[in-house]
Structure 1
Amino acid sequence: MPRLHRLILPGMPHHVVHRGNNRAAIFFDDTDRHRFRSLLRSAFASRQVGLHAYVLMDNHVHLLATPAERTSLAKAMHSLAQRYCQYFNLRHGRTGSLWEGRFKSFLVDKDRYLLAVCRYIELNPVRAGLAGRAEEYLWSSVHANLGNIRDPLITPHDALGLLGTSPEARRARYADWLDRGITARELAAIRRYSAQERALGSPRFQAMVERSLGRPAATRNRGRPAKEKVGGHR
């Protein structure tokens, strides 16, 4: 059975996950992570993909990205995966595939759900027991989104502007947003949409995706479309 194309809409954010083959490590040290960041920046910039959040874990990466064109994301990820695999194999004296098949992605409703996905991504090291707080983990976008550094990888999403009218207010609200943590319902929904590669958002957003792409947008649970509402902000 032919593999279905991903749900991709230009100008909309997509949550991307790419894992190491057999869940093996894709980063052995900080040198590897620095090289991956460099290749990521080059691949996304050359294909007009904006990156809003990321985290580099030991055996996988999470990215929140907006492609300018329908094919931009796939081309950028293909280039990144290929070039990093070549580097990794040469440096560590190995051969063969580094990645577990193709990357997974799902669309994200930017109006209400994007901040929840940002939080999910940046709290990944906390859930994995690698840090007590998101800010303690070096290899993520949290430092840029909190305004502590200027990360050349990051293109801030307009949704962050909903948190406050000034940079200081937005930083404080985003820090509070992170501290509140992710709920079990949010976690389950994001993981389910990632596994099924659908469109996380309101019923109206999902209907728009289905009209645009002619494909189901909601996940299915026991044969019925799931209707999830994830998070929000005060």
Structure 2
Amino acid sequence: MPRSPRFDLACVPQHIIQRGQDGHACFYSPADYRCYLVQLLHASSRWDCAVHAYALMPNHVHLLVTPSHVGALAHMMQAIGRNYVSYFNATYHRTGTLWEGRFKSCLIGDDYLLVCQRYIELNPVRAGLVGEPSAYAWSSYACNALGLPDPMIVPHARYLALGKYLEQCMRAYRQSFELDIEPEVLRDIRMYIQQQRALGSLAFQARVEAALGRYARARPAHRPRKQPQVMQ
């Protein structure tokens, strides 16, 4: 059966996840993380994709990216995959694939943009790798929240709207981490990336459906079938 085409629109952010094959690690050393970030910087520049956030986990990657045109994101990920896997295989004397199939992606509406960005940068905390996001070296939190230079990061308009000056944006963004992401929102972020649809308001989803001619909303998990009742 042919694979369904991705939800892909120019200038609309996408949340991306790519996992290691069978849950295996795709990063072993600091040099591995640095190599991936170099490849991400080169590929995002080559294909004109704006990276707003990232978190490189030991066995998977989270990205928040806005492509400038349809197809740019796929080209970016293919370039990263090709070059990083070549490096990884040569470094660790292995062959074959590193990633678990195609990367997953979903469109993100503006109203979910910042919460998705927080979700990504909190991933190391949820995984128990660190106690706070600032302690993790391989995410964009230090740039978005603390102002450390990162040539990768292009702030999204929703982030820049947090304040008149960049310092105000960073302060407001840091303060947003003091509140937990609601369980329903966590569920929706995970469900939409798993089903690879369009996470946002009903108006956003309607625009996506009109543009792509496809149903954009995630389908809720099926309830277990009821057992037939035995007549008494």
Deviation at residue 185 of structure 1 after TM alignment: 1.1
Mapped pair 1:78 → 2:81: no
Q: List aligned pairs for 1:1-234, cutoff 5 A.
A: 1-110=1-110, 112-222=111-221
Aligned residue type for 1:123: L
Deviation at residue 63 of structure 1 after TM alignment: 0.2
Aligned residue type for 2:27: F
Deviation at residue 179 of structure 1 after TM alignment: 2.1
- Give the SS at the match of 2:10: coil
Aligned residue type for 1:165: K
- Give the SS at the match of 1:39: helix
Deviation at residue 66 of structure 1 after TM alignment: 0.5
Partner Cα separation in structure 2 for residue 29 and residue 119 of structure 1? 25
Deviation at residue 155 of structure 1 after TM alignment: 0.6
- Give the SS at the match of 1:34: helix
Partner Cα separation in structure 1 for residue 44 and residue 169 of structure 2? 26
Q: Could you give the per-residue CA deviations for residues 173-232 of structure 1, whole angstroms, max 9, x where no partner exists?
A: 100111212221111110000100000000000000000001111001157xxxxxxxxx
Answer yes or no: is the 8 Å Cα contact 1:89–1:95 preserved in 2: yes
Give identity over the alignment, percent.
Answer: 44
- Consecutive unaligned residues in structure 2, runs of 5 or more: 223-232
**Cα–Cα, structure 1 residues 22 and 222, in superposed 2: closer, same or farther, change >3 Å?**
closer
Q: Which residue of 1 aligns with 2:227?
A: none
Partner Cα separation in structure 1 for residue 163 and residue 179 of structure 2? 17
Deviation at residue 31 of structure 1 after TM alignment: 0.4
Q: Could you give the per-residue CA deviations for residues 29-83 of structure 1, whole angstroms, max 9, x where no partner exists?
A: 1000000000111111001011000000000000000001101000110110111
**Cα–Cα, structure 1 residues 94 and 123, in superposed 2: closer, same or farther, change >3 Å?**
same
Answer yes or no: is the 8 Å Cα contact 2:17–2:60 preserved in 1: yes
**Alignment RMSD (CA, Å):** 1.2
Aligned residue type for 1:187: L
Answer yes or no: is the 8 Å Cα contact 1:119–1:181 preserved in 2: no
Find runs of 4+ consecutive structure 1 residues off by over 6 angstroms: none
Aligned residue type for 2:65: A
Larger radius of gyration: 2
- Give the SS at the match of 2:106: strand
Deviation at residue 162 of structure 1 after TM alignment: 2.3
- Give the SS at the match of 1:36: helix
Deviation at residue 158 of structure 1 after TM alignment: 0.8
Partner Cα separation in structure 1 for residue 137 and residue 177 of structure 2? 16
Partner Cα separation in structure 1 for residue 139 and residue 146 of structure 2? 13
Partner Cα separation in structure 2 for residue 192 and residue 132 of structure 1? 26
Answer yes or no: is the 8 Å Cα contact 2:147–2:170 preserved in 1: no
Aligned residue type for 2:26: I
Q: Which residue of 2 aligns with 1:228?
A: none
- Give the SS at the match of 2:131: coil
Q: Could you give the per-residue CA deviations for residues 121-157 of structure 1, whole angstroms, max 9, x where no partner exists?
A: 0000000001111111110000110143110010111
Partner Cα separation in structure 2 for residue 85 and residue 200 of structure 1? 30
Q: What is the TM-score with the length of structure 1 in the denominator?
A: 0.93
Partner Cα separation in structure 2 for residue 135 and residue 9 of structure 1? 32
